[in-house]
Amino acid sequence: MSDEQIRLAELRDEIDSLDQQIMDLISARARCAQEVAHVKMDSNPDQDVFFYRPEREAQVLRRIKEQNPGPLSGEEMARLFREIMSACLALEKPMHIAFLGPVGTFTQAAALKHFGHSVVSVPLPAIDAVFREVESGAAHYGVVPVENSTEGMINHTLDMFMSSPLKICGEVQLRIHHHLLVSPKHEDQDITRIYSHQQSFAQCRQWLDTHRYGIERITVSSNAEAARRAAEEPGAAAIAGDMAAELYGLKKLANSIEDRPDNTTRFLIIGREEVPASGHDKSSILVSMRNKPGALYQLLEPFHQHGISLTRIETRPSPSGTWAYVFYIDFEGHMEDDQVSKLLAQVDEEAVELKRLGSYPIGVL
């Protein structure tokens, strides 16, 4: 054996021994999680037990990122722990997560990024179907898109909160990379049409105008549906992401064709319970104000007074004539915080209606 071969064998022995230790430690951790499940059930014998604890998961992942010694990046280490916690939670109770489908959409990728791969993910055809699935208790949580950095708010999601009793339990952001995809079977044929979701076309408009000008663009219900058609139809291409490309075995003709390199979509996790403070949280409310001069100023002034940062304010038309304006507002802080509860009491006095959509950990991954 050469010196290199001897060194390689030694290093592999060391890796084997470390793997054994990692496995023993993960198993000990999993047994702890099982014990946690028993404690939760014993302390809530006649009630719904909430096994998934978003505030605790955020704290665990933040600590991992802060204390990670390297050489792996904090993000990479957090992703590994994300999967370990996901498997531990599945031992406590397998979580059913409804998402805006079909399989292969960015929303599914966001759901798996947030919950890890040990959940049962359930595709549904529309945003309101995701809300209904969670409201009825058929799914534990739901994942819906809420805003895109290029295209703005997803109004359907905002409007659902006006009537739904669900709470926002978390958020997750996903960098969106779109590719021009074709089936390897039809690769050599000229493309006569491109399928995609209307949002994806909008996010790739300049690229398409420059590189595929004049080719018909056909809007379909999702990127995954676009990918499915490209896999089947000669002369068809799709704009979709990696998950859909993999699912339908498509080949990339052009990679990352989104017009803005920072193209990101934010998704919300919706559930039936309120989330306690994690130490680094955000809150969302819906507020309707009287239609009178200075209404917006009156609404925003208390945020300034209490030193609370707004991260988003959006106006939506009222569903009924009685609501002149409906503002969807995100801000930093938790509703349990002293300053936030004072702020909300003040807003409540001025508003026609104030709906608390929830406080939740700021996305960690």
Ligand X SMILES: O=C(O)C(=O)C[C@]1(C(=O)O)C=C[C@@H](O)C=C1
* Contacts of ligand X in 67-126 (CB under 6 A): 85, 88-89, 92
Strand partners, 99: 123, 143
36 vs 220, beta carbon nearer ligand X? 36
The piece of 47-55, 226-234, 247-255, 348-356 that touches ligand X (CB under 6 A) is: 47-55
The residue whose Cβ lies closest to ligand X is: 88
Q: Contact between 57 and ligand X (CB under 6 A)?
A: yes
How many residues in the shown chain lie near ligand X by CB under 6 A? 12
Show the tokens assigned to 156.
């359907």
Residue 283 CB, nearest approach to ligand X (Å): 20
Structural element, H or E, at residue 115: helix 106-115
- Helix spans in 198-337 (H): 198-203, 205-211, 223-232, 242-247, 295-305
Figure out which of the listed residues 41, 56, 280, 356 binds ligand X, where binding follows CB under 6 A.
Answer: 56
Q: Contact between 177 and ligand X (CB under 6 A)?
A: no
| The one catalytic residue among 105, 107, 157, 265 | 265
For Cα atoms 58, 61, 62, give the angle at the middle one, nearest 5 degrees: 80
Strands (E), the chain: 96-100, 120-124, 141-148, 152-153, 167-175, 179-182, 193-196, 216-219, 236-240, 251-254, 264-271, 281-289, 310-316, 325-332, 353-361
| The one catalytic residue among 267, 303, 327, 331 | 267
Q: Contact between 330 and ligand X (CB under 6 A)?
A: no
Residue 6 CB, nearest approach to ligand X (Å): 40
267 is catalytic: yes
Asked if residue 283 lies in contact with residue 318, where contact means CB atoms within 8 angstroms, the answer is: no
Residue 60 CB, nearest approach to ligand X (Å): 5
57 vs 258, beta carbon nearer ligand X? 57
User: Radius of gyration (Cα) for the chain, nearest Å?
Assistant: 24
Q: Contact between 204 and ligand X (CB under 6 A)?
A: no
Show the tokens assigned to 7.
């060194």
User: What are the catalytic residues?
Assistant: 265, 267
Summarize as ranges the residues that interact with ligand X (CB under 6 A).
Answer: 33, 36, 51-53, 56-57, 60, 85, 88-89, 92
